[in-house]
Amino acid sequence: MLVKALRNGLGNLIIFIDFITRPRKMPRPAELQAEVDQATQKLALYQFRACPFCVKTRRSLHRLNLNVALRDAKNDPQAREELQQQGGKIQVPCLRIEEADRVTWLYESAAINTYLEQRFG
């Protein structure tokens, strides 16, 4: 019980620090932002709200001004089941990338951030 309370407290502290230190969004012309928004409709980030690695990935999404669907794999049983069945394991953060007829599940915050930076940076 004490460990759970400590974990929740630290998680909320991480979220608060993220909120007050959040980077600025990358500015884009409206037509280019519309193209980026169209491309990000094929992406979904499976995450836990207070996970430090998920916070790191969400900060990159914010900085790159990307509108990616967030799926709570901790509190949403359907998202958790999708991650388990389609992704192969319950590990967050995980980026679901839908391209043509193929779906790729990308794990690890560093790999996800590198992918996002290369594709949208």
Instruction: State the average pLDDT for the chain.
Output: 90
What CATH number should be reported for the domain holding residue 34? 3.40.30.10
Interatomic CA distance for residues 21 and 39, integer angstroms: 27
**Closest C-alpha to 18, from 69, 48, 52:** 52
Count of domains in the chain?
A: 1
Q: How confident is the model at residue 21 (pLDDT cuts 50, 70, 90)?
A: confident
* Coil, helix or strand at residue 3: helix
pLDDT single digits (tens) 75-109: 999 999 999 999 889 999 999 999 888 999 999 99
Output 2 or 58, whichever has higher pLDDT.
Answer: 58
Integer Cα distance of 98 and 105 in angstroms: 9
Instruction: Provide the pLDDT confidence category of residue 11 given band limits of 50, 70 and 90.
Output: confident
Does the predicted TM-score (pTM) go above 0.75?
A: yes
The whole domain housing 50 covers 2-120
